Amino acid sequence: MKKHILSAVFTTLISTAALAESSAAIAFNELDANKDDGLSAAEAGALPDISAQWSTLDADADGKLNRAEFAAYQMPAPAAGKE
């Protein structure tokens, strides 16, 4: 029984991680309006608080976020009691 529960938990964790990665790729593709495989400050500006993190996220200081830099962006957690 314990093996089945652990297996189910592991499967759920893997699925959740894959979904999060997929969602990030979709968000990047949707935000990249000019399809140059980089997000300008204007393109990324649709996300809350990204401008406040811009200098940290743009690690190579080229003025745009590549996929790896964008993946480092952590959206703020919802406030307690709000969904």
Q: Is the pTM of this model over 0.75?
A: no
Domain locations along the chain? 25-75
One digit per residue, the tens of pLDDT, for the chain of length 83 reads 655 564 554 444 443 333 344 445 668 899 999 999 999 999 988 887 788 889 999 999 999 999 999 988 866 556 665 55
CA distance 15 to 12: 5
CATH class assigned to 25-75: mainly alpha
Tokens 């949707």, located at residue:
30
**Cβ neighbours of 25 (radius 10 Å):** 13
CA distances from 52 to 13, 14, 24 (A): 31, 31, 19
